[in-house]
Structure 1
Amino acid sequence: MSDLDDIDLDPEDFKSSIPLKKVPYGDVFEASRAGDVDRLRYLLDSGVNVNARDQWDSVALYYACLAGHLDAARMLLESGAICSEHTFDGDRCHYAALNLKVRKLLKAFEARPPPLGPLQASLRDTFLACKANSSYLDQLNAQLPTSLFSGNSFNGGLSSNHFPPDVVFYVQGRPIEAHRVILSARSPFFKAKFETDWKEKKEVRFSREKLSYPSLYSLIHFFYSDRLEVSVDDMEDLVKICRVCKCQSLQTLIEKELIHQKYAEYKALKEIDNSQKRFILQGFSLPEQDRLPAAMLRILQISLVNSSRGQNLENSVDNFVSLVGSGFQDDLADVCVRVDKRIFRCHQVVLASRSEYFKARLSHMNDFLEGSDLLLDYTLPCLEENDLSMKAFEKMIEYMLKKCLMLLQDTCYSLLNVQ
């Protein structure tokens, strides 16, 4: 065992409560029920959905808790299995736990949700660093101390992560600050709107009284973090918003969960406050193409194509201004970076969220350009990098959106020199 000091369990506690058996061809449910950690590790490494349900409406963690397999339970929890008592699946795991040792383990992981990936964590911090968004977060944490949001302290400590939003939504008079490229990458609806009706708008006010602020906030937060947390009472509103935003895979998962919530036993108990019940969903429950990294990589690919096409234009731009080609597919780029003799179309929020260096450079650039007449409506501000090769910069941008890269030796050497 490793790093058990903060779980209040001894290594001996992780010995099986019942005899283990091997299930070399078993699925994640059979491996969890049998305590076959080798098979379970293989399945988790293969990308199996750790929160999937079987034909008896049970998740893998439920079987591990029921059989008292601490090692298997911890492996599932570290892979993102939901264990919060304020969720349907979490409740079942707590109630089914074979002994207090299992409940201790669940409580320990309930207090510390699985960590986000680098891209998700960086963009989430940027979203929550916006004043309007953090104000709602403070309100939510005051009402729900066990919220997943409360596991990440945000008492002004992330002010250094602030990067100005480029659009503000008003729902029932309350603001949600956001960035166009993130919303466009995650939702065909937002992408179409930002290319047409909202192209020049900095503020968008929704007049429909039935639109739920908590539901839209939860969805936009999910766009940034690939982690959804929403009150059970707001789930039906969230389904409607997902339908409008054309988030089909997310809509399908929430609709299935609504059916489970409808027939869950605790819904029949009068003394339970259902408004405090939370639905939590991790991004890896979605198909890979609908997750945040894949969505951002699609935007990157469009930007790279536009950047390549732009080389056919005149390259006589200075260090601050570059012309936007009129025939390009809209990639929502808001800054250019000139590397060697190539101009890359990029997105300020991605550069600033993933790199302190670019955050500082963009901040100085924006301060310099603020109130000046240097830029016309059809131009983008431009940074110049002199110590990078074109290939190294392209790989660096790709790395910002992925956890790993395949690098050639000379490209790796160039990146190390920059560091």
Structure 2
Amino acid sequence: LGADTAISQHHGTLGKDTIALFESCRRGDLSKIRHLVEEREIELNIRDRWDGTPLYYACLCGHKEVVEYLLDNGARCVANTFDGERCLYASLNVGIRNLLRDHKVVTSNTMRRDGYDQFLRRCLDDRQHCDITFRVGGEEVRAHRCILAARSEFFHDAFRTKWRGHNVVPVTHHLVDASVFRIMLEYLYTGRLEMQARQSDSLIELAERCRLTSLVEQLHDLLVSSSSRRKAWNEFKTLLLEPSQYAQEVQRDLSRLAEQTLPAGDCKVSADERSTGDAGYADVCFNVHGCYFFCHKVLFCNRSEYFRALIEDPFTEALSTGTSRDVPVISLNHVTPEVFKCVVQHVYGNTTTALEPENVWEVACVADVYLLPELRRQCGQLIGESLDEAGACSALKVARLLRLHRLEEQCIDFMARHLAQVVQRPEFREIVAQDASEVKLRQETDSISVIDDIRYHIAANARSCAEVALANQKLALIDALLSDMGLDA
């Protein structure tokens, strides 16, 4: 237990991959960090027992490329916060300090690692599925009725009244140019915006006319607070508005839109709102065993490459819905309406209120087929929260099959903590035998994957003398199991 226990005591209760991330940031091993972040899905803002983060250690050790990679992939370094100041003053050289100071401007256009943020950005940039054009100062700005109406009462009302039936809408206010109008669209689509300070008056005027009261208030607060932050960080050539509450508002509004797409029996909005609301801008319908989901191409195509290929396939059969809506209908035969409801909720609002322990396994498999990795991970999280001795082995198999690395880690940790019960189960023996069979031309240094991982977790949790004694008892159980199975690892 010596080496593993020493590592564990140094890093607290962190997992094996997380410890590897901290060590790689100290060494500057960028390839290893890429693997851990992109393949193993390790959280970048985790802390060790000294409140250090991976970004802090990369700054401290002077690895500029690692710092840049961490920032671009979601590591937090916010001005005038403990983490931001700590990283700034711990930086080994001026190059890293400048990188930290310029961080917000560098990453504001690339929405970092959050899958939902990236999806919203793709919707904003989508031109193929636009159904409304605004003519602003001689330029054309294209957009999607469904998103604007879902996000703004002003646009919702205008599309139903004065702009009804119009495909091109002129915007003639003398203070509003195309660049400012696009900034407002960025806010409506993503919950964030970036602007030059000189554009603030025009944007506030436009937001007031569009009855975006919350945006107006936040813009005033931003203009007041940016001066002090500029003094501290000297970085605000560009002003950014990225409060988390706006991202939550986008999710809330698009989740409401998702409710309007559901079959009549599942819909939580009134019949009048369903017929005249934002779902009225539906341009694709999914027929799931006779249940019709009236949806929007811009959201499904930008959320999943599977649905993009399905919707844009010229050979996809377009049928009639039997209703007054003239939209193409695509039949989905290998999913139930209840499971597809989870898919719709995830696509629109990144929520899964319909996800339950009873359907989570089926939803996880469907998410894998539909190329929805975030939904697949959400399923893995729910499975991990309800692990028990009877289901841990099945959960481990699913985690490996669907490449849910975090769930796999949770299953191994659960098995290590309940080893006396787990080793008695025949399905655990099956996993051990399967892992042993995958080791080709076994050498003395080869090990069985599940056994090696469980041994690590046992050692990582052993600190006191009593815990070390218990760990040795568990290791003896493993040795006895392997001996009984005729294996040596």
Superposition TM-score, scaled by structure 2 size:
0.52
Q: 2:96 pairs with 90, 98, 104, which one?
A: 104
CA drift of 1:233 comes to 0.8
Match of 1:388 in 2: 335
Q: Within 5 Å, give how 1:60-209 maps onto structure 2.
A: 78=74, 80-82=76-78, 97=89, 100-101=92-93, 104=96, 107=99, 110=103, 111-112=106-107, 115-130=112-127, 163-209=128-174
Contact 1:351 1:359 in 2 (8 A): yes
Match of 2:346 in 1: 399
- What per-residue deviation string (whole Å, max 9, x for no partner) do you get for residues 108-160 of structure 1? 67244661532331231243243xxxxxxxxxxxxxxxxxxxxxxxxxxxxxx
Q: 1:245 pairs with 196, 210, 219, which one?
A: 210
Contact 1:82 1:280 in 2 (8 A): no
Aligned: 1:303 with 2:268: no
Question: Measured at CA, do residues 127 and 308 of structure 1 come closer, stay the same or move farther in structure 2, by a change above 3 Å?
Answer: same
Whole-angstrom CA distance in 1 between matches of 2:125 and 2:215: 22
CA drift of 1:213 comes to 2.0
Contact 1:221 1:228 in 2 (8 A): yes
Contact 1:97 1:103 in 2 (8 A): no
- What per-residue deviation string (whole Å, max 9, x for no partner) do you get for residues 87-125 of structure 1? x99xx979x847654760550672446615323312312
Q: Within 5 Å, give how 1:169-318 maps onto structure 2.
A: 169-261=134-226, 277-284=237-244, 286=245, 289-290=248-249, 292-304=250-262, 306=264, 308=266
Whole-angstrom CA distance in 2 between matches of 1:218 and 1:233: 13
Contact 1:219 1:228 in 2 (8 A): yes
- What per-residue deviation string (whole Å, max 9, x for no partner) do you get for residues 257-304 of structure 1? 1123467776xxxxx9x9x811112251x25652x2222101112333
CA drift of 1:165 comes to 0.9
Structure 2, gaps ≥5 residues long: 1-18, 29-46, 370-489
Match of 2:326 in 1: 379
Amino acid at match of 1:198: W
CA drift of 1:229 comes to 0.9
Question: Measured at CA, do residues 181 and 250 of structure 1 come closer, stay the same or move farther in structure 2, by a change above 3 Å?
Answer: same
Whole-angstrom CA distance in 2 between matches of 1:255 and 1:204: 28
Contact 1:389 1:414 in 2 (8 A): no
Amino acid at match of 1:343: Y
Root-mean-square deviation (CA, aligned residues, Å) is: 4.9
CA drift of 1:219 comes to 1.8
Question: Measured at CA, do residues 3 and 263 of structure 1 come closer, stay the same or move farther in structure 2, by a change above 3 Å?
Answer: closer
Whole-angstrom CA distance in 2 between matches of 1:307 and 1:326: 12
Amino acid at match of 1:400: V
* Percentage of pairs with the same residue: 19
**Larger radius of gyration between Structure 1 and Structure 2:** 2
Whole-angstrom CA distance in 1 between matches of 2:322 and 2:135: 29
Whole-angstrom CA distance in 1 between matches of 2:229 and 2:291: 58
Give the 3-state SS of the residue equivalent to 2:327 in structure 1. Answer: strand
Match of 1:269 in 2: none
Question: Measured at CA, do residues 2 and 233 of structure 1 come closer, stay the same or move farther in structure 2, by a change above 3 Å?
Answer: farther
CA drift of 1:307 comes to 6.2
Give the paired residue count. 313
Q: Which structure is higher in helix share?
A: 2
Contact 1:227 1:281 in 2 (8 A): yes
- What per-residue deviation string (whole Å, max 9, x for no partner) do you get for residues 49-74 of structure 1? xxxxxxxxxxxx9xx9xxx999xx99
Contact 1:193 1:199 in 2 (8 A): yes
Whole-angstrom CA distance in 2 between matches of 1:189 and 1:364: 35
Whole-angstrom CA distance in 2 between matches of 1:210 and 1:366: 47
Contact 1:337 1:345 in 2 (8 A): yes
Amino acid at match of 2:333: N
Q: 2:296 pairs with 347, 351, 355, which one?
A: 347
Contact 2:284 2:295 in 1 (8 A): yes
CA drift of 1:379 comes to 2.9
Contact 1:120 1:226 in 2 (8 A): no
Amino acid at match of 1:279: L
Give the 3-state SS of the residue equivalent to 1:379 in structure 2. Answer: coil
Whole-angstrom CA distance in 2 between matches of 1:413 and 1:226: 32
Question: Measured at CA, do residues 105 and 297 of structure 1 come closer, stay the same or move farther in structure 2, by a change above 3 Å?
Answer: farther
Contact 1:120 1:224 in 2 (8 A): no
Whole-angstrom CA distance in 1 between matches of 2:76 and 2:215: 17
Question: Measured at CA, do residues 220 and 38 of structure 1 come closer, stay the same or move farther in structure 2, by a change above 3 Å?
Answer: farther
Contact 2:263 2:291 in 1 (8 A): no
Whole-angstrom CA distance in 2 between matches of 1:201 and 1:226: 26
Question: Measured at CA, do residues 38 and 281 of structure 1 come closer, stay the same or move farther in structure 2, by a change above 3 Å?
Answer: farther
Contact 1:306 1:328 in 2 (8 A): no
Give the 3-state SS of the residue equivalent to 1:165 in structure 2. Answer: coil
Question: Measured at CA, do residues 37 and 257 of structure 1 come closer, stay the same or move farther in structure 2, by a change above 3 Å?
Answer: farther
Match of 2:478 in 1: none
